[in-house]
Structure 1
């Protein structure tokens, strides 16, 4: 008389384990923060292309994940890809926002030519002013840099938009070069964002 009851319990247990495994498969743990394997930007479904951690000396500064319509393994393919894009940063320590912004601007300077910088000078100044208006980025803060076709680049902190759209598509390419350019902020992070890394692990690994 106990066998049907035991069988039922076994089915429920198996279903629970399957549900747990399925839910775990949809997030990656990157430097202690979860990154969903999909994201929606401007009603477009994106896939996590890769992720990693930005280190300065021996200290982790932020984790980063790159979301694209389709997975790509070369910077050139990523820059040329049409559609929405997102790079999501999660701060791993408190950072002075002005210093953080300066690091962004240095990355842009090192990975752009004179013609590009001349074309984008007003938009770069506008972008730099963003960080001057924020006193500090705190551990756990989420910074998203989205490209929306027909609108441009939008920066949000903890889900709140903090810039007007920066319209030129070239600006987002220049922004991506901070991490994917010939002189990236962190070479290992670049490798991770291109999807070639062992660092990300399933959440609850």
Structure 2
């Protein structure tokens, strides 16, 4: 009987260790799950943090990748789907959010890159124009789905068109991960270096 109990306890322990950890990261009350499914694949939460402007909290952001990495060049070169999730920490007009995105893209692209992606950048701007206002608590997913392109959803509803060039998605990622990130404290958090 004792051997049977020991065997059952060992089996339960083995099962517990074989189950994936589903720990969420909490960013000022916003929970980012450890796994997100994009394009039929499970992505891992690479890092998450808060975007602030001066002292105002704007949004919590999470970066999901096929494999965790702290190297920006490696992240930009990854195969497979990727996701950036933004959860708004305050109400913001679509014009202000569009301007912030456009500024972030422009700050991190050279003239040749801007010229290459001008049509997709304009469509990205139009996407925000299609939304009246973004409210506190709204969730924006920006996904790269191989074979489909860049797909954006606001609160589970698809918005805007699809941009098919991976280079454009990488330009969007560089808003936060580029040489001139939108928030210098958010970049290391997304790279998994949060203190």
**Contact 1:54/1:62 (8 A) holds in 2:** yes
Q: TM-score, normalised on structure 2?
A: 0.88
1:116 aligns with 2:113: yes
The separation in 2 between residues aligned to 1:144 and 1:133, in whole angstroms, is 16
Aligned match of 2:54:
57
After superposition, the C-alpha distances for 1:145-203 in whole angstroms (9 at most, x for unaligned) are: 000011110010001110221101100000000000000000110000000003xxxxx
Match of 1:3 in 2: none
Query: Contact conserved, 1:151 with 1:165, CA < 8 A, in 2?
Result: yes
2:170 to 137, 151, 173: 173
Specify every segment of 5 or more residues in structure 1 that has no aligned partner in the other structure, as ranges.
Answer: 1-14, 199-205
1:9-88 map, 5 Å: 25-88=22-85
| Structure-2 change in CA distance of 1:23 and 1:85 (3 Å) | closer
> Paired residues, what number?
179
Partner of 2:192: 195
Note the C-alpha offset of 1:110.
Answer: 0.5
Q: TM-score, normalised by structure 1?
A: 0.84
| Counterpart Cα distance in 2 of 1:82 and 1:178 | 20
2:97/2:128 contact within 8 Å kept: yes
Q: How does 1:145-164 map to 2 (within 5 A)?
A: 145-164=142-161
Pair 1:23–1:32, CA change in 2 (3 A): farther
1:23 deviates by 10
Shift of 1:26: 2.1
| Partner residue in 2 for 1:129 | 126
Structure with the larger RCO, 1 or 2 (CA within 8 Å, 6+ apart): 1
Task: Give the alignment's Cα RMSD to 1 decimal.
Answer: 1.7
Unaligned runs of 5+ in 2: 1-11
Q: Aligned-pair distance for 1:99?
A: 0.7
Which residue of 1 is the match for residue 5 of structure 2? none
Q: Give the Cα–Cα distance (whole angstroms) in 1 for the partners of residues 145 and 189 of structure 2.
A: 23
State the secondary structure of the residue aligned to 2:153. Answer: strand
What do the CA deviations read for 1:89-130 (whole angstroms, capped 9, x no partner)? 000000011111100000000100111111111111111011
Conserved in 2, the CA contact under 8 Å of 1:98 and 1:134? no
Per the alignment, do residues 45 and 24 of structure 1 end up closer, same or farther by CA in structure 2, a change over 3 Å counting? Answer: closer
Q: Give the match's secondary structure for 1:187.
A: coil
